[in-house]
Amino acid sequence: MALALLEMNDRDFASRRESMVTGYAEAISVARGLSLPDAVAESQRDITERLPRGRATRGQLLRKAVVDGAEVGWIWVSLPGPAMPEAAWICDVEVHSGSRRRGHGGEIIKAVEAELAESGVPRLGLNVFGDNDTARRLYERLGFEVTARQLSRTLADVPSPAGIDLAPMIDYPARIEALGAEYAQHLVQEQGIWHGEAEARSARRLADLLPDGDRTEGNILRTALVGGEPVGWVWAAMPAPNLPGLGWLHHVGIDEAFRRRGYGRSVIAAVEAELVRRGVRGLGLNVDGSNEDARRLFERLGYGLLAQQMAKDLP
């Protein structure tokens, strides 16, 4: 008999909530270097915020997978919404321990793809942690492609590089305007979003991250100088509550006239050194899935895979 997806009832959800919490906690404990109690607390907060009404939360699809009347696993998918109108997102999928190695994981995902496609959802995305090779290979076989990678590295005593200085930003408005236009263009090209919507979404993203501009607390915005002359800029942030201990590199840009001189590496090293002086012991960043040059650069600098986002278009 073929695998079928059935809607969870309240009892189904209640019986799975604990495994949702512990499974996610175990994953972020490794990926973010959290103690297990801290990871469990973070997992509980996250699931409570995303599923405030349990399985009845609007915009969430929770299904149990059944074969020959026996449950073999379950899946949780967030439907398209304001934050991601063009795609649904797999939040969690699990095959029960006694039912593994029988192909049920792939069948569960295929079944939910069919349900989403029938509802008119055009795209499905997911996140897989860097150490989960089994899941990554499964998603690749199912046709998912990498759209972004999250990389990270541990920071020790990073010396400031000679010849380059980071100064408080002297050209913030122009730099942020250019970055917003760049991100909007990326949305148009990679996701086929209308120009006006892409520009609005880009503006909202920057406003959320920098509500007080270059004075937003916890953000490090610097102009990179060589011999007193601006050659580029960098934007990093101190650890956020959901990523304790891990700073984040939002952007590093070298002006076109000064590229291919090693300034990019120097700016990264300089902002790493500033973060170390502030007590930060790890740095993460996002790399677009198609940007192989950036991926190779950061890997050479000691950054390893933290997680990667993958997606596929639905028929």
String of DSSP letters for 242-296? TSTT-EEEEEEEE-GGG-SSSHHHHHHHHHHHHHHHTT--EEEEEEETT-HHHHH
Q: What are phi and psi of 52, to 5 degrees?
A: -65, -25
Which tens digit of pLDDT belongs to each residue from 209-218? 999 999 999 9
Provide the token pair at 59.
């915009």
Beta-bridge partner residues of 94:
74
- Parts of the chain with a pLDDT under 50: none
Q: For residue 254, what pLDDT is reported?
A: 95
Q: For residue 209, what pLDDT is reported?
A: 94
**Alpha-carbon torsion (99, 105, 109, 110), positive or negative:** negative
Fold topology of 156-280? Aminopeptidase (3.40.630)
- In whole angstroms, give the CA distance from residue 196 to residue 193: 8
Q: For residue 74, what pLDDT is reported?
A: 94
**Alpha-carbon torsion (153, 159, 164, 167), positive or negative:** positive
CB 117 within 8 A of CB 61: no
Instruction: Please give the C-alpha separations between residue 19 and each of 32, 144, 211, 296, 298, in angstroms, as whole numbers.
Output: 19, 25, 37, 36, 35
Fold topology of 4-121? Aminopeptidase (3.40.630)
Q: Which helix (H) or strand (E) holds 167?
A: strand 165-168
Q: For residue 162, what pLDDT is reported?
A: 85
Which tens digit of pLDDT belongs to each residue from 227-257? 999 999 999 999 987 677 789 999 999 999 9
Q: For residue 1, what pLDDT is reported?
A: 63
Q: For residue 227, what pLDDT is reported?
A: 93
Domain positions in the chain: 4-121, 156-280
**Would 4-121 and 156-280 be classified into the same CATH topology?**
yes
Q: For residue 149, what pLDDT is reported?
A: 94
Q: For residue 66, what pLDDT is reported?
A: 95
